[in-house]
């Protein structure tokens, strides 16, 4: 994976899909080492706020589809069977520290992304038991927020929400909100596409929506305003 691919991977990855809940546990101390041994390309880690609580986020890109990568992850981390269609959340808590791993589809059908989130156990407890709040300037009308992450240094916000709207209806609602606020959608604007990219000056906004079962749609939003002056 070349440098350009690595730089472009993080924003594309963060908007691809959202995490689903799973009771899975990672073997102690093997997360980072296992990901690198499996060929994961690390991106620069960042201090973030997860649902308003402090944490640290590291991202790894893989040149393999999730369903091809999942068996190796299962073997290395002791995970149960996963499918490429869903995001998988893995969490381990020990000695006052919590580490979560998310396996996500990448920007193409032959790529995957793994996110590592490190928090204190106390911060994770607050994350799980306090209702998440929308990051400033980021929201989806008619949707219930499930998860948010913010990097204050780069003014990047990421959110996952659930709505009763169908995926295309959810994206159409966001399109109306964004274009009405001065954002411009970037071509191609393919009918039925599950991901849409917008710009406003040097700012970037990405919206992605997918059916989540039980009549719900999960919508993922990423907004990057750039480094604060």
Q: 42-57 pLDDT, tens per residue?
A: 876 788 888 888 888 8
Q: What's 8-40 look like in SS3?
A: HHHHHHHHHCCEECCCCCCCCCCHHHHHHHCCC
CATH classification at residue 175:
3.30.310.80
Structural domain count of the chain = 2
Whether 158 and 59 have beta carbons less than 8 Å apart is answered as no
Same domain, 195 and 150: yes
The residues of the chain scoring below 50 in pLDDT are 1-29, 83-86, 229
- What is the pLDDT, as a whole number, of residue 169? 92
Whether 198 and 117 have beta carbons less than 8 Å apart is answered as no
Q: Say if 68 falls within a structural domain.
A: yes
Q: Say if 229 falls within a structural domain.
A: no
Q: Say if 137 falls within a structural domain.
A: no
- What is the pLDDT, as a whole number, of residue 4? 34
Same domain, 149 and 124: no
Q: Which domain holds residue 61?
A: 3-129
Same domain, 10 and 79: yes
Same domain, 104 and 176: no
Q: Is the peptide bond before 158 cis (omega within 30 degrees of 0)?
A: no
Q: Which residues contact 108 (CB under 8 A, 6 or more apart)?
A: none
**H helical segments located in the chain:** 3-16, 31-37, 66-77, 121-129, 167-180
Sign of the dihedral defined by the CA atoms of residues 99, 49, 59, 73, in that order = positive
Same domain, 107 and 161: no
Stated pTM of the model: 0.65
Same domain, 217 and 187: yes
Q: Say if 124 falls within a structural domain.
A: yes
Same domain, 125 and 154: no
- What is the pLDDT, as a whole number, of residue 102? 72
- What is the pLDDT, as a whole number, of residue 99? 76
Q: Say if 139 falls within a structural domain.
A: no
């Amino acid at each position: 994976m070349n440098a350009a691919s690595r730089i472009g991977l993080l924003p594309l990855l963060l908007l691809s899909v959202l995490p689903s809940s799973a009771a899975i546990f990672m073997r102690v101390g093997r997360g980072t080492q296992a990901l690198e041994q499996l060929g994961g390309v690390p991106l620069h880690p960042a201090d973030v706020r997860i649902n308003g609580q402090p944490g640290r986020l590291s991202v790894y890109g893989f040149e393999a589809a999730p369903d091809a990568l999942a068996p190796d992850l299962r073997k290395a981390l002791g995970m149960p069977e996963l499918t490429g269609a869903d995001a998988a959340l893995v969490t381990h808590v020990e000695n006052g520290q919590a580490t979560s791993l998310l396996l996500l589809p990448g920007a193409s059908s032959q790529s995957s992304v793994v996110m590592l989130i490190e928090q204190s156990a106390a911060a994770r407890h607050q994350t799980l038991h306090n209702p998440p709040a929308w990051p400033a300037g980021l929201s989806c009308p008619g949707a219930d927020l499930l998860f948010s992450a913010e990097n204050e240094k780069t003014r990047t916000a990421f959110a996952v929400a659930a709505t009763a709207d169908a995926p295309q209806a959810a994206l159409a609602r966001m399109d109306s909100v964004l274009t009405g606020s001065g954002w411009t959608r970037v071509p191609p604007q393919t009918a039925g596409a599950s991901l849409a990219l917008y710009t406003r000056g040097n700012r970037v906004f990405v919206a992605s929506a997918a059916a989540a079962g039980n009549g719900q749609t999960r919508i993922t939003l990423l907004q990057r305003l750039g480094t604060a002056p």
